[in-house]
Amino acid sequence: MDRVISGLRHLPNWLQLGRFLTVGASGFAINIALYALLVHPLGVPYILAAVISNLVALTSNFVLNRHWTFEASHGRRLLQAPRFALVSAGGFAVNLLVLQLCVEALGLPKLPAEVLASAAAAPVNFLGSRQWAFRLRRAAV
């Protein structure tokens, strides 16, 4: 518990969260704009549209999170990319489950359902990215 309290008092953690949320907002905008374009004017099935729009946003988020949010330029891109993809896959699984629940079970319109689904996936993505995908391994002393 002391470690959690200490982490909450550490200003750089809050700044990193702010950068993550900014990157997430840009990825969210890319995701929603592309999803809306695919579903409404183009008539792409909503699940396929979600896969496509999330993959485009994922690529953008990886680049921005690696270089800006987590400053993970320590030469481990080949390890970070698959880890980020796995974390994002977990977040996307949450996204799809919530999306389908909202559309099929709750009868929500598809676009607001994707907004809720994205919000539900955000904590999975942040914690996985911070604690595993972009974690800096310190050398043993």
SS3 sequence, 94-126? HHHHHHHHHHHHCCCCHHHHHHHHHHHHHHHHH
Q: Is the four-CA dihedral 104, 35, 52, 56 of positive or negative sign?
A: negative
Give the range of the structural domain holding residue 52, as residue numbers without chain letter.
2-133
Q: What is the pLDDT of residue 8?
A: 65
Check whether 140 has a pLDDT greater than 70: no
Is residue 139, in this structure, part of any structural domain at all?
A: no
Q: What's the one-letter identity of residue 114?
A: E
Please tell me the total count of domains within the chain: 1
The per-residue pLDDT of the chain, averaged, comes to 87
Check whether 123 has a pLDDT greater than 70: yes
Is residue 138, in this structure, part of any structural domain at all?
A: no
Tokens of 58: 């994922």
The length of the chain in residues reads: 141
pTM of the model: 0.70
Is residue 13, in this structure, part of any structural domain at all?
A: yes
Check whether 31 has a pLDDT greater than 80: yes
Is residue 140, in this structure, part of any structural domain at all?
A: no
Is residue 20, in this structure, part of any structural domain at all?
A: yes
SS (H, E, C) 18-29: HHHHHHHHHHHH
Average pLDDT over residues 88-106: 94
Check whether 75 has a pLDDT greater than 70: no
Is residue 86, in this structure, part of any structural domain at all?
A: yes
